[in-house]
Structure 1
Amino acid sequence: MTLSATFLGTSGAVPTVERNTSALHLRREGDAFLFDAGEGTQRQMMRYGTGFDVDAVFLSHVHGDHVLGLPGLVQTLDFNDRETALDIYTPRGTGDEVRDLVTATGATTSFRLDVHEVSAGETVLERDEYGVEAFHTEHRTRSVGYALVENDRKGRFDREHAEELGVPVGPQFGKLHAGNSVELDDGTVVKPEQVVGNPRPGRTVVYTGDTRPIDATVAAAEDADLLVHDATFSDQDAERARQTAHSTGGEAGRIARRAGVDRLALTHISSRYGGAVGALKADAADEHDGETLLAHDGLTIDIPYQ
């Protein structure tokens, strides 16, 4: 089951030649989502081949560098004759701002736009095999982060042991794997726990948007496969990070370490550093025992099962 993240914009508030403003594309098999949509996001989607089949957009907050790409994207979807509704999730209290933004040109779309206000602690989208949950973040405005959390998978089926117990090859294997006992011709009952291993964890991807390093992120990202965290500043500029309610690379690394995250991707990199961004990654890597990546536009990360 494919799960991959493509970074469409990794700059801070000001774009650079190399980095566009914030946007992350996440694909889980046939489902596709955008987390934030800074100016130019639709062009980045074309450039990096994500396609426009977006099921929903999740906004961490409504600062311009995270939302100004929405009107253009919505217009392009309309030009492409989209028919299915587009769900846009945004922090509670910001729904009217988002509606005003996407309808600013006065045009109407051929598809329905559904804007949902969300609060930290809510499961804002629920599918059969996974959900998207909002969690608290700390920025200079109403803001949330999002975690895509897969359900646990079934344990592995031990076919060899099932055959040893006398279970015939066929439909009864499926019944056992689904959690049902089966009765053999001689009256013996074989229970699922005899041939099915423990449940296997699904995958978790966490996106903070802009935030200070806080305990809520640690809780949301516990044992996550991928944490995408604000790392606007280097540790040398920690005071500036506090003043602007952002995080440093080292602060993001400490959050990842506390949460036991497998991989940490740093994003929302301030334009003040130009190409000299190695210090941010070094700051984070000094704190985090797992893999640390400095995200760049076009980077795609495949997230395998553990």
Structure 2
Amino acid sequence: MSLRVTFLGTSGAIPTTERNPAALFVSREGDDLLFDCGEGTQRQMMRYGTGFGVDHLFVTHTHGDHVLGIPGLTQTMDFNERERPLAVHVPAGERSTAKRLLNATGNTPSFPVRVKEVRAGDVALDGDGYEVRAFDVNHRTNAVGYAIVEDDRKGRFDREKAEEELGIEPGPKYSQLHRGESVELEDGTVVDPDAVVGDPRPGRTVVYTGDTTPTGSTVEAAADADLLVHDATFTDECEDRAASTAHSTAAQAGSIARQAGARRLALVHISSRYAGDVSAHEAEAAGEFDGESWVPSDGETFDVPFPDADD
């Protein structure tokens, strides 16, 4: 089951020739989700082949570099004769801002658009086999981060034990046991699922902070996350600047990932002052976090593996 992340925009407030403003595209088994929509996001979607099949847009906050792509994207959807609804999730208190953006060209989209306010702790989307949960972050305005959390998966089915030790012939009884149903064999023996099915296995978790200072709420939301996508606007030399603008440094992002026990850390929202050289970001994050960490390029994709993929 695929869970693919495409980094559409990894720049800070000012775009560069290499990096677009904030946007993260997540595709899971036919569900396409967009997190933030900076200026030019629709072009990034075309350039990197994600398509416009987004049904849910999750906005972390309404600063321009995270939302100015919304009017253009929805207008393009309209030109493409979209009919199905679009849900736009925004932090509490930002509904009117979102509606102004949607009507910025003076035309209301012809397809239904629902703007939903979310607060930290809310399940913004109850999907098929996963949830998108909002959590608290710390920026200079109403802001939330989002965690994509998959449901637990079924335990592993021990086919060898079922067939060789218990004498269960391959067939429908295997499916029944894996569904959690007991089965009766021809000799009257009843086999319960726990005899051949292991403990439930965790699904995957992807966490996106948007803009934020380092927070304990991010540590909590990203506990054991398979991928944490964290604000890393500055390097250590600009730590004071990060604090005054309510952003994070790469080292601080690394510390959050370490405290959370995350498996991987992607550093985004890179200030334009660093141009094409992100080596300091990667070195400083690695100094705090032993897991895999990197600064993704725009257009880069990452297929999130299951936690037990190597077992």
How far the C-alpha of 1:173 sits from its partner, in A, is 0.9
Corresponding residue for residue 213 of structure 1: 214
Corresponding residue for residue 166 of structure 1: 167
How far the C-alpha of 1:29 sits from its partner, in A, is 1.5
Distance 2:255 2:68 in 1: 31
Q: Please show how residues 140-159 of structure 1 align to structure 2 within 5 Å.
A: 140-159=140-159
Structure 1 alignment gaps of length 5 or more: none
1:245-302 per-position Cα deviation (integer Å, ceiling 9, x unaligned): 0000000000000111111000000011112221111110100010001122111111
Distance 2:81 2:162 in 1: 52
The aligned amino acid for 2:118 is V
Q: Please show how residues 249-288 of structure 1 align to structure 2 within 5 Å.
A: 249-288=250-289
The aligned amino acid for 1:51 is G
Distance 2:145 2:152 in 1: 22
Distance 1:133 1:144 in 2: 10
Contact 2:282-2:294 within 8 A present in 1 as well: yes
How far the C-alpha of 1:166 sits from its partner, in A, is 2.2
Q: Please show how residues 1-306 of structure 1 align to structure 2 within 5 Å.
A: 1-163=1-163, 164-306=165-307
1:31-84 per-position Cα deviation (integer Å, ceiling 9, x unaligned): 101100000000000111111101110000000000000000000001111111
1:200-231 per-position Cα deviation (integer Å, ceiling 9, x unaligned): 11000000000000000000000000000000
Between stretches 105-114 and 244-253, larger displacement belongs to: 105-114
The ranges of structure 1 where at least 4 consecutive aligned residues each deviate by more than 4 angstroms after the TM superposition are none
TM-score by length of 2: 0.97
How far the C-alpha of 1:9 sits from its partner, in A, is 0.7
Contact 2:59-2:89 within 8 A present in 1 as well: yes
Distance 2:106 2:211 in 1: 30
Give the secondary-structure state (helix, strand or coil) at the position aligned to 1:57: strand
RMSD: 0.8
How far the C-alpha of 1:161 sits from its partner, in A, is 0.9
Contact 2:153-2:200 within 8 A present in 1 as well: yes
How far the C-alpha of 1:172 sits from its partner, in A, is 1.0
Give the secondary-structure state (helix, strand or coil) at the position aligned to 1:37: coil
The aligned amino acid for 2:131 is G
Distance 1:77 1:269 in 2: 29
Distance 2:55 2:286 in 1: 34
Structure 2 alignment gaps of length 5 or more: none
The aligned amino acid for 2:299 is G
Distance 1:276 1:170 in 2: 57
Distance 1:16 1:160 in 2: 56
Give the secondary-structure state (helix, strand or coil) at the position aligned to 1:284: helix
Distance 1:132 1:275 in 2: 33
Contact 2:120-2:135 within 8 A present in 1 as well: yes
How far the C-alpha of 1:244 sits from its partner, in A, is 0.2
